[in-house]
Structure 1
Amino acid sequence: MERFDGSVDYARYEHFVVGNETDKYRISFLGDFSGNVRDNLRPLLNMKFTTEDSDNDLWMEGNCANYRQAGWWYTNCVESFFHGKFYDHETKDYSSIYFNYPRTIKKLKMMIRPAFKK
C-alpha cells in the first residue's frame, strides 16, 4: 500500500480462506500475520461479503456497501476498505480506499495465490 506521502506499508497473511457463494464468501480463516501496519483484517474473520443487495454486515443503521458505495467484508464499516474511490483531500470523502483509518491509500495491490496442496 502506497500512501500519499510516499511511504509504503504492507500486511501479509500466511493463509487466507474465503468460503463459496453458498457461504456468502465468508472469511473463514486468516493465518499468521506480519507487516508494518495493524492486523485490520482480523476483525473481519467470519464476516460474510456485503453488497448493496446482500447486507451481511453488523451495522445497525444500514448497509455498509450502500454507505461505502462498494462491496467488502464489513463489520461496522470501519476496519478496512479496499474497493472504494481514491481519497479526495478537498472534500474529505470517506468512501475512499483505506487500511488503518484514517490514513488513506494512493496505490494498492492485493495479491492472493492458491495454496499448495500436499
Structure 2
Amino acid sequence: MSNQPLSTVRIGGIKATIWENEDDKGIARYNTTITRTYLDQNKEWQENNSFSLDDLPRLRLATEQAFTQIHERIAERHHDKSNNQEEPDASEDPAPAATKQGRGKKSFTEKVDAERAKASGAAK
C-alpha cells in the first residue's frame, strides 16, 4: 500500500479521506480522516476537525459515502481474491457450495444492511 489515500469524499467544506493499509498478515484495514476546510483571514486554506451544527448534515453524507466506498473496496478485494484462487478439488470437501454458505454466516451484504439498520434505528 502507498501513502496516497484510497479515495476522498468532499461534501461542501467537509472532506473524508479514506486510507487503506495492510497489517502484517496482509489483511486490509481502512481508516477515514474527517476534516472541515475553510479560508482563513489571510485567504489561505486551512483544515480543522471541529464541526458546527450546519456542518453535521454534510458530515453525515460524507461518512455514509466513505462507508459505502470502503465496503465496495472490501467486496472488490474479496472478489479479486476469490477469482485468483484455484478451484478446490471436489474430492476434498463433498459438501456443496450452497451448504457451505448456509452454515450460519451472514453474507457481506447482510452485514452491511444490518449495520445500516442499526445506525438508522439509533438515530431515531
TM-score range, shorter chain: under 0.3
Larger radius of gyration: 2
Q: So what's the TM-score if we normalise by structure 2?
A: 0.22
Higher relative contact order, structure no. (Cα contacts within 8 Å, ≥ 6 residues apart) = 1
Higher helix share: 2
